[in-house]
Amino acid sequence: MQWLVVSVLAASGAVHGASQPTLRGSRHASLENKTWVVDLNATSGARVMEKEVQHIFNLINSPNGVLVHSIQHGAEIIAQMKAANGEFKWDTKFGDGVRALNDCYRYDNQYCSAWSFIQKDLMPMVYNYPLHGNMQHAVALMVDRKKVEHMIQRMHVIDGDTWDRFPGGMHQDDSLRYHGSEPKVSPYVCVPISPPNANTSTHFDPFYNESARRFEAHVGENGEYWPQHFQDSKLTKKYTMVRQCHFEYGSWNAWRGALAAFYARAKEQVLTGQVGNKNNAPDGALYLENEVTLQINIAEDFGSFGEGILAVTVQDNLCEDQLKPFDHRKEFCSRLARHNEIQVIEEGREAACRLSNQLSHQYRRLVPVIQARFLSNALVNLEAWNEFSSSGAYAEKYMEPYDCCARYSDLHDYSCS
């Protein structure tokens, strides 16, 4: 691939009200150098990518990766912003009771925020389950993992159902809680050591370690025994999501290894009918995206957290495309959209542009919008999983920048002259 780097002079808006960001600010034009990257091999004309987008793609295509947090679908975000004079408030609580950033909030874990790690060696899935208010077209926030790693609390291989977990990590519906003391506060940890008599066919159970006063699952140095604890006979919410342990951030490499082992086993289970309660069809219970849990106190932490913000994303591929392996996807998807699906996607783009403008003014740098065709977290898309496993989930395969100025220039005065 050949890239041409071009430096130009572009007008940009001065910051207005950085401490209280608004949708539209007083615009004082100034000139600054901007760099554009042009793909000379693009088949449909020169593809122009801002340097900020190329930086994001470079992160995804490197070991660094990024974190993505699904906020809500576009119409909800737009309504919230209009009600607040154009500003989106990050402590917003939506009509369904879910908070914008602290989505896994519970009374004893109020700063909980669930994210997904996106990197080229992993399946590109975020929370986009197609049963909950058009979340299959969610607008999301993307951050640089390295810049927020001090906030990372723990990681789960698939969705941790975190808002139903006690502060120590034990799920409130897991019968394992009765096999140890103080289950509400005792940690429940994936330990990167091999289980006794380790082999590739035995089922292993987590247990309560009396001396360490915590629940443990010995998943192997590289997480290779994780499936034999939580996935060997089936892949369901109760058997896998609820029962799984969490990895501490210091065990990042073991967590990555467990993800690889999970993918390999899940692809086998599709062929044997062991995925979900409805044979790899959306069952309203099993969510397959990985989860990285952050602790974010919006009142105190958002300033430093904001320095890691990279982009706003919107999922623009149709519901039927997301659920391609599901035979009844047409009927299923037709019941979801309260409006025309194209309208739902367009509302997502508008909301993303509004958020991009607010964040760009607040941090005095362009926070771009990226259209993403993330895989659905509702099922195992065997064809796509095989493709990404063999050739890599490079950002360019499923992401592209969205030009807010083409349609929403009146909403994005930071970058649209």
Q: What is the pLDDT of residues 239-257, one digit of tens each?
A: 999 999 999 999 999 999 9
Q: Return mean pLDDT, the chain.
A: 88
Max intra-chain CA distance, the chain? 69
What residue type is 277 in one-letter code? N
What residue type is 9 in one-letter code? L
- Indicate the pLDDT class of residue 338, thresholds 50, 70 and 90: low
- How far apart (Å, rounded) are the C-alpha atoms in residues 148 and 134? 28
pLDDT one-digit tens code per residue, 293-327 = 999 999 998 888 999 999 999 999 999 999 999 99
pLDDT one-digit tens code per residue, 14-34 = 332 333 322 222 222 222 333
Confidence (pLDDT) at 370: 98
Helices (H) and strands (E) in the chain, counts: 10, 14
Domain boundaries, the chain: 52-411
- Tell me the average pLDDT across 225-237: 97
Confidence (pLDDT) at 96: 84
Share of the chain above pLDDT 70, in %: 87
Q: Distance between the two ends of the chain, CA-based, in angstroms?
A: 31
pLDDT one-digit tens code per residue, 348-373 = 999 999 999 999 999 999 999 999 99
Of 37-46, 65-74, 163-172, the one with minimum mean pLDDT is 37-46
pLDDT of 143 > 70? The answer is yes
Residue 118: strand pairing partners: 66
Q: Which pTM value belongs to this model? A: 0.88
Secondary structure element (H or E) that encloses residue 291, with its range: strand 291-295
pLDDT one-digit tens code per residue, 107-129 = 999 999 999 999 999 999 999 99
pLDDT one-digit tens code per residue, 282-293 = 999 999 999 999
Confidence (pLDDT) at 417: 66
Secondary structure element (H or E) that encloses residue 147, with its range: helix 145-148
C-alpha of 412 from chain center: 24
- Indicate the pLDDT class of residue 387, thresholds 50, 70 and 90: very high
Report CA torsion sign: 396, 121, 149, 107: positive
Contact call for residues 4 and 406 (beta carbons, < 8 A): no
- Which residues have C-beta within 8 Å of that of residue 9, sequence separation ≥ 6? 31, 32, 33, 34
pLDDT of 11 > 70? The answer is no
Confidence (pLDDT) at 24: 24
pLDDT of 339 > 70? The answer is no
Contact call for residues 229 and 217 (beta carbons, < 8 A): yes
Contact call for residues 358 and 21 (beta carbons, < 8 A): yes
